[in-house]
Copies of this chain bind each other. A is one copy, B any other.
């Protein structure tokens, strides 16, 4: 059935403009043109792995909106719940991204204020959407963007929950959008609805004022709220071009932590979206494999690690490729050097 999704997500779609290779924003004559956005990155990753997903968003009713819609479709994500802003001031939010190389850090300039997405409301969407998906995901960015997105996102979370959807939430704290205090206050209001919770150790401590080791921090969320699963990524940034990536997942019902050897010395091509790709993999593992946290861990780590090697925000690996990467990651024997 057309309205049957494994995953729907609410989030802003941004135009991403980046100078090629190691060129700078302040110079040069071309920008690479892509789309991105935390929630779109998540659903496009899940879609590539084989589940049916859609993005809930609002786009300007102009050529840029059409461009964004086309890219969404390219990824195999449904555009059924894209709505369009016909106001004369309709606009697509933008961010400019510049690659880093030690000692130059990657850098981002945002130009996302007044974007059409900030006007999205529950009323823009059809009522039956809320009953059309197994899982709903959104992130702290959507909450932080504007008063309006915050209110409507909260209302959507409630409506999806009422209609039986699993609620997935990624804190994704951004200090340039709101303060830690604002974030804490707002997110604590929605945690009672959340089933799957993504939060880094650093955010847990700085924003939610948790103390103690990572395991006890993760567990504490499930003790205070009816959260089933908490996942926390662990990235070590050796340099802008070399990262190590792993994660920990806690399953409250089993009271069990899942961990594996991280991916060491990833050859980073484009780091943006690798956190979102982790969520893709983890949600895929949970939704496709009956909440098997071992699968969530393996798919999450592999999907994130390999995203770092792909230009742009959006992942681009299908299930076969991820399975092969997981197998290689576990393999300690001789490996082929190339996929032929």
Contacts and interface: CB of A to CB of B under 8 A. Distances in A.
A95 B98 CA distance: 21
Contacts of A277: none
A104 B21 contact: no
Nearest to A98: B63
Interface string A300-340: 00100110111100001010000001001100001011111
Interface stretch (A6-14, A23-31, A281-289): A23-31
Contacts of A329: 103
Given A63-B107, A94-B94, A111-B91, A33 B31 contact: yes
A73 B76 CA distance: 7
Interface in A192-235: 202, 235
A164 interface: no
A103 B32 contact: no
B27 A306 contact: no
Given A33-B31, A310-B22, A338-B108, A302 B103 contact: yes
A103 B325 contact: yes
> How many copies of this kind of chain does the complex include?
6
A166 B112 CA distance: 40
A266 interface: yes
A89 interface: yes
Given A22-B269, A31-B31, A64 B109 contact: yes
Q: How large is the interface on A (under 10, 10 to 19, 20 to 34, 35 or more residues)?
A: 35 or more
B325 A104 contact: yes
Interface in A107-123: 107-111, 113-114
A206 to B, nearest CB: 10
B338 A100 contact: yes
A33 to B, nearest CB: 5
Contact of A32 (B30, B102, B114): B30
Contacts of A294: none
Contacts of A25: 63-64, 66-67
A62 B31 contact: no
A70 B63 contact: no
B340 A176 contact: yes
Contacts of A29: 28-29, 32-34
B311 A109 contact: no
Contacts of A33: 28-31
Contacts of A102: 263, 265-267, 309
Interface stretch (A133-141, A155-163, A237-245): A237-245
Interface string A59-96: 00011101100110111100000000000110110101
A103 to B, nearest CB: 5
A64 B96 contact: yes
Contacts of A91: 111, 113
A332 to B, nearest CB: 15
A180 interface: no
A309 B240 CA distance: 11
Given A26-B66, A106-B338, A107-B338, 6 more contacts: A66-B318, A70-B74, A70-B76, A101-B268, A102-B267, A240-B337
